[in-house]
Amino acid sequence: MPKKKTDKNKIDPKSLLSLLRQRACSPRRLMKELMLPKSQRMVISNMLRQMAEEGKVIRLRGGLYGLPKQSKTLVGRLVQSKPGFAFVIPQDEKEPDLYVPGKNLKDAMPDDEVEVRVVSEIQRSRTRGQKRQAQIVRVVKRASEQIVGLYFQDRGVRLIHPEGMIRLHEFTVAATKTRKAKSGDQVVAKVTAWPQRYTPGEAEITEVLGTTNAPGVDITAIVRRYNLPDRFSKAALDQANAIAIEPVPKEIAQRLDLREQVIVTIDGADARDFDDAVSCETLANGNWRLGVHIADVAYYLDSGSCLDLEARERGTSVYLPDRVLHMLPEPLSCGVCSLVPKRDRYTVSAFMEVTPTGEVVNTEFHRSIIHSHERLTYDWVETVLTQKHCDNPAERYREELKQFHQVALALRAKRESRGSLDFDLPDPRVVLGPDGRVQTIEKREQLASHRLIEDCMIAANEAVAKYLRQQDVPSLYRIHEPPAGERMEEFQEFLEAYGYALKLGKSQEASKQFQKLMQQWEGKPEAQVLNMALLRAMKLAVYAPKNSGHFGLGSECYTHFTSPIRRYPDLIVHRRLTEHLKRRTQTGGQRNAWQSKMVIWGEQLSDLERRAEKAEREAVKRKRLEFMSNKIGEIFEGTITTVANYGFFVELQEHFVEGLVRSSELSDDYYYFEERQRFLQGTNSHRIFRTGQRVRIRMDRIEWEEQRVLFSLHEAAAQKKTAEKRNAPRMVRKSRRKRL
């Protein structure tokens, strides 16, 4: 490499790039090549660091610098883990996830599509394996051009502190762009300049949501942050209101009339929209004829209409603690399409002949009309299934409900025999008071009546999927691929820490191995944490035009058919099924066009489903924090659910809330983490904290940035308070005699 003479008082960036174009160099090597004095070493190091932040050069292993084009880059989605760092999920599924420390994030935001470069391997704990460390080169596509956060003024400077940021970015607001927001308001703002490492971004406020502590403002902020549509256009509402409510004779004549058959709906007590109804009868051969009747939403929504396009834009209804964002306007979702009792409604019916062993031996599908005899609740049905007599409307349908239960048990036994997994994870229910404040958070119980309907719906979904596949009708399938790769290896190591072993062979046998494992830890203290770990190790279920089976259900062919009021993929499946039932033939060109649409819609609807799930989880987490913020200093009983090197998480017995006890807050001893057996142990006392252990804790505080509740051991808190009192300086009183 030829040496170049350079002005000792000035370093030309072009000279650096010219040298790096030939090979990667360290700062010392560059100084030697440019014949710079030692006094310039800090200058060239700072220059290289700045150029790395701008993406002009990259830092490689061993302190070397090189050009971006000389190193392979990957494109993926940025996912926030905790404030200060993030992960990138590459678009290429063969590539493992990448760890991005805060210093390498540049101006990227959660869910942005980014281009990254691998810079090194970093060693993580044995239960987390290795993660490659990456550096963001550039943001390919922004997830959103708006931010939602807290507006405040600091020494005359108007600032927005956004929520959900990976790093503590702030945005300045011009005096003319505040929309009269006041300090402490939650606001929505349009970004006009993204923040850099040392400078804040710039934004202009577009909507003032209200003060942070006002009821409902926190949920509205989540709605805005995830860009969830919460209003229908006037055109869509007008179209919904114009739809005729009552069935017409001409249409009835073209359908299977089931209005005389005993058909009921079974839903939660607070449900307002009813997608599905069920019927059952015993056949002469001893089998059952199970009928699942689903609201015929496709009849009312013309494909490509204003109403249809807005439903597709939502993809799914979103269920938040204080509101529901419906996929369809309420005149449809809770009125015309809803299978309300004592009213005639258009449906699409799936009939399945089920043997006592749970085998589905025959299926039929019809465009139909039903008349729901009764709107039953899960609690009423549960009472009928568990008591000899009860005083509620479900009692009149005792015989039918007993049949439903028998069919459901047979279907479930058959599904379990092929490896279906039942995680039975806790489901929180937020109870709000009249003022919109959280009254309590409780665990939603999984009743036999819930399982009854779930088993019937799974059977119908599977039957429709198999029929569409057999008839070669282009449609959307619900696929769940077997777990594999780095996540599975990490899960296997995680299991070893709890004394369980997993050796995976053929993919079709994997579900049965998981099933056996889950049976081994069922009812044990570590069951919940292991179920959650297994769920995280698995791939996500998605919508796709090509069937590849559903691993979690042990099904070779599955789709979503039973909820067209609240899920757009179900509406697509209804359209494909009813068009086939009408005997409408398709040309090869039409089939190819449908297939292309399914590829695009499958990806879009899978993304919209993920968006809704994240918003729902965050809303519940937010309400948990709100609920606990008024209980600082109170004492609770809890159970340790997870143990880590930094402390352990405790779930309250009284309320469905989890919080962290940091090991640094355990003042009675020094605690170390036994990684292999997953417990914390005192160095001197040998006291152990492990999963499933009962403890008394005190509510200490909330870390709002990390969205986390912090507890302390009640006894440790008392010991700490006594020690502080004992070590405090004493007030020495002078005697009265001396003062006189």
pLDDT in tens, 428-475: 889 999 888 999 888 888 899 999 999 999 999 999 999 999 999 999
Task: Look up residue 61 and give its DSSP letter.
Answer: G
Q: Whole-model pTM?
A: 0.84
Query: What class, spelled out in words, does domain 146-214 have in CATH?
Result: mainly beta
Cα torsion through 428, 431, 432, 437, rounded to 10? -60
Find the mean pLDDT for residues 121-140: 65
Listed by start position, the domains of the chain span: 13-68, 72-141, 146-214, 234-481+539-620, 631-727
Which pair of structure tokens corresponds to residue 15? 């000279």
The class (CATH top level) of 72-141 is mainly beta
CATH of 13-68, one of 1.10.1740.10, 1.10.10.10, 1.20.1250.20, 3.20.20.70: 1.10.10.10
The C-alpha atoms of residue 224 and residue 201 are separated, in whole angstroms, by 19
**How distant is the alpha carbon of residue 567 from its chain centre?**
16
* pLDDT grade for 407, boundaries at 50, 70 and 90: very high
Q: Which amino acid is at 501?
A: A
Bridge partners of residue 432, in order along the sequence: 438
Locate 299 and state its tokens: 């009849």
**Burial (Cβ within 10 Å: 0-12, 13-18, ≥19) of residue 207:** middle
- The answer to whether the 13-68 and 72-141 domains have the same CATH topology is no
Average pLDDT, integer, range 410-419: 93
Q: What is the pLDDT of residues 232-259, one digit of tens each?
A: 999 999 999 999 888 999 999 999 999 9
718: its two tokens: 């008392």
Query: What span, in angstroms and rounded, lies between the C-alpha atoms of 540 and 543?
Result: 10
Cα–Cα distance, 292 to 278 (Å, whole number)? 5
Q: Please report which confidence band the pLDDT of residue 726 belongs to, taking 50, 70 and 90 as the band edges.
A: very low
CB atoms within 10 A of CB 351: 20
- Lateral strand order in the sheet of 374-377: 256-257, 360-371, 344-354, 288-295, 276-282, 264-267, 374-377
- Inter-CA distances, 80 with 98, 327, 606, Å: 12, 27, 19
Distance in angstroms (rounded) separating the CA atoms of residues 419 and 435: 46
**In the prediction, which pLDDT does 384 show?**
94
Under DSSP, the state recorded for 491 is H
**Is 139 a residue whose pLDDT tops 70?**
yes
Tell me, rounded to whole angstroms, the distance of Cα 519 from its chain centroid.
26
Third-level CATH fold of 631-727: OB fold (Dihydrolipoamide Acetyltransferase, E2P) (2.40.50)
Highest mean pLDDT among 93-102, 106-115, 345-354: 345-354
Judge whether residue 68 has pLDDT over 70: no
